[in-house]
Amino acid sequence: MSKYVYIAQVSITPDKEKEFNELYDSEHLPYVLEVPGVLSGRRFKLEWADTDQMPQYLAIYELDDPMLPKSQAWITAADKGAWRKAIGPHMTVRRHGMFRKMKED
């Protein structure tokens, strides 16, 4: 496991949810996974939460470098394809965070 985990949490308008999932799986995630230093990426959909403020989708990326999501390589990859124009304007919540592993196994 990497020393760093980057999370992206988003909510999307209901009318764009199907397209969001299709483009995330077919374009967005594969392009980001091509960025050097991205070790893995997985997606999850919220089942339940103790607050109605919790975004409905979560992506977890394992990275070599905590600054990678701010790099030009990441930004270029994230902007490829139809993702930015088709999905970006329809995200109602966007939260991002970088986490550092606390203790080695």
Residues in the chain predicted with pLDDT less than 70, given as ranges, are 105
Question: How many helices (H) does the chain have, and how many strands (E)?
Answer: 4, 4
pLDDT attached to residue 105 = 64
* Domain limits for position 86: 4-100
Residue 9 lies in a domain: yes
pLDDT attached to residue 103 = 82
In whole angstroms, give the CA distance from residue 52 to residue 35: 34
Residue 73 lies in a domain: yes
Total tally of structural domains belonging to the chain: 1
For position 60, which CATH number holds?
A: 3.30.70.100
Distances in Å between the Cα of 20 and the Cα atoms of 24, 60, 67, 92, 94 are 6, 17, 26, 12, 14
Query: pTM value?
Result: 0.92
Residue 22 lies in a domain: yes
